[in-house]
Amino acid sequence: MKYAINVDVALKRGDKWLLIVRGLNEEHAAGRLSLVGGTVDTDAPGGGDVLLETARREVLEEIGIDLSGVPLAYAESVFFVTDTGSPVVNVVLAAELPVGAEPRIASPEEVAGLRWETLPSLEDDESCPAWTLQGVQRAAAALGRTSAV
């Protein structure tokens, strides 16, 4: 069985986390609250750290933020199956959003909206998928450690 590898990035500013509303035409979890991210590009040139490169590329593509040089902390890796039955290994990384960086919807096909939320507000939000909440919780713990990559 082949797996897709997906990399999500939990971005924090102060006590709030940046979340996206996934585009309505996305294959998995369309219209749902999510972290910024996407799949490893198998056409990308090799030689670098594929997870970090994917994370930075997806953040730039989806919300227009350049994370070059920004340390990313490992938060978690989980397995799931998409709405269409595709198996996925999902890796979540976490980072503080750079000072002065202002996210915007750079890819309207993939991102229908942006939301800033505190962790307690997400824990009380019934519309927040369990996997998104877990990713933010693990990202909060990861940023509390000093294991940035």
CATH architecture of 4-144: Alpha-Beta Complex (3.90)
The tens-digit pLDDT sequence of the chain (149 residues) is 788 999 999 999 999 999 999 987 877 777 889 999 999 987 766 668 999 999 999 999 999 999 999 999 999 999 999 878 889 999 999 999 999 999 999 999 999 999 999 999 999 998 899 999 999 999 999 999 644 54
**What distances in angstroms separate CA 73 from CA 12, 23, 55, 81, 103, one per listed residue?**
12, 26, 11, 25, 20
For the chain, domain boundaries: 4-144
Please give the structure tokens belonging to residue 94. Answer: 């976490």
* pTM across the whole model: 0.91
- Mean pLDDT rounded to a whole number for the chain: 91
State how far the Cα of 67 lies from the Cα of 87, in Å rounded to an integer.
28
Of the CA atoms within 13 Å of residue 121, those in its CB half-sphere come to 10
